[in-house]
Amino acid sequence: MFIKIMTLLSLIATLGGAPVQEHSIYMRGMEIVNLNYETDVVTCVDPVGFEWEFIGCEDYCVNDIVCVLLDTMGTEDTIKDDVILKVDYSGYWTD
């Protein structure tokens, strides 16, 4: 009985309910370009030139490279609403 109810609810959601957004998770390498210690905000830039921000200056320096895990929030056609899920230190640039 439980399986029949779950199948029916799934069918109703698919046919008549709100569309379900598929979230895609992806990674992107970025370079840290600014640290604002007053607001604790780290600004980094991806290879395409988009700027991203996250909270937590304490262990980062300008020119550090980070690997950022992002969520598309179900909108594959735009990057502007993507959300940072996790940031990991990956290295640094030297001159």
Where does 1-95 have alpha helices with state H?
A: 2-15
- What's the first-to-final CA gap in the chain, in angstroms? 67
User: Does any domain span residue 10?
Assistant: no
User: Does any domain span residue 74?
Assistant: yes
The confidence score (pLDDT) of residue 62 equals 96
Q: Measured at the alpha carbon of residue 33, what is the angle toward residues 57 and 31, in degrees to the nearest 5?
A: 95
CATH of the domain at 30: 2.40.50.140
The confidence score (pLDDT) of residue 5 equals 42
User: Does any domain span residue 48?
Assistant: yes
Neighbour-count burial of 17, counting CB atoms closer than 10 A to its CB (0-12 exposed, 13-18 middle, 19+ buried): exposed
Q: Alpha-carbon distance 23 to 66, whole Å? A: 22
The domain tally of the chain equals: 1
Encode pLDDT of 40-89 as tens digits: 999 999 999 999 999 999 999 999 999 999 999 999 889 999 999 999 99
